[in-house]
Amino acid sequence: MAALAVTGAVVAAAGQQQLVFVLGLFELDVVWTVALGVSVLMYRRDARMLDGWRDIARTVTPEPVRRAILTEVGLMVSLGRVALRRPPRVPDHATPLPSRQGTVAIPVAFGVLTLGEVMVLHLVLPWPGLSAALTLLSVYALLFLFGVIASRWDHPHYATPASLVLRNGAHVVADLPWNAIRSVAILRDGTVTAPAVDRGIARLATMDGCSLAVALTQPCAVRLTSGKRARTHWVHEIRFAVDDAPGVRRVLESHCA
Q: What would the pLDDT profile of 210-222 be if each residue is shown by its tens digit?
A: 999 999 999 999 9
One domain, residues 99 and 160: yes
- Domain endpoint, select from 60, 83, 103: 60
One domain, residues 118 and 30: no
Eight-state DSSP code of residue 88: P
One domain, residues 30 and 97: no
pLDDT digits 0-9 by tens, 206-255: 888 999 999 999 999 999 988 777 889 999 999 999 999 999 999 999 98
Lateral strand order in the sheet of 163-168: 95-97, 157-159, 163-168, 171-177
Q: How far is it, in rounded angstroms, from Cα 233 to Cα 225?
A: 11
Q: Are 206 and 103 in contact (CB under 8 A)?
A: yes
34: Cβ contacts below 8 Å, ≥ 6 apart: none
pLDDT digits 0-9 by tens, 74-123: 889 999 999 999 999 999 989 999 998 878 877 788 788 878 877 777 77
Half-sphere exposure of 37 (CA within 13 A, CB side): 6
pLDDT of residue 17: 44
C-beta atoms surrounding 162 within 10 Å: 12
One domain, residues 153 and 243: yes
One domain, residues 43 and 115: no
- Assess whether pLDDT exceeds 80 at residue 128: no
pLDDT digits 0-9 by tens, 175-198: 999 999 999 999 999 899 889 999
One domain, residues 102 and 190: yes
pLDDT of residue 3: 43
Does residue 75 sit within a domain?
no
Number of separate domains in the chain: 2
One domain, residues 187 and 250: yes
One domain, residues 132 and 50: no
Please give the model's pTM, rounded to 2 decimal places. 0.72
Q: Whole domain around residue 194: which residue ranges?
A: 93-257
- Assess whether pLDDT exceeds 60 at residue 45: yes
pLDDT of residue 142: 83
pLDDT of residue 160: 94
C-beta atoms surrounding 196 within 10 Å: 14
Q: Are 196 and 205 in contact (CB under 8 A)?
A: yes
Q: Are 99 and 156 in contact (CB under 8 A)?
A: yes
Q: Are 203 and 241 in contact (CB under 8 A)?
A: no
Buried b / exposed e over 42-76, threshold 16 CB at 10 Å, is: beeeeeeeeebeeeeeeeeeeeeeeeeeebeebbb
Q: Are 193 and 138 in contact (CB under 8 A)?
A: no
pLDDT of residue 132: 78
Query: pLDDT category, 2, cuts 50, 70, 90?
Result: very low
| Average confidence (pLDDT) over 46-73 | 68
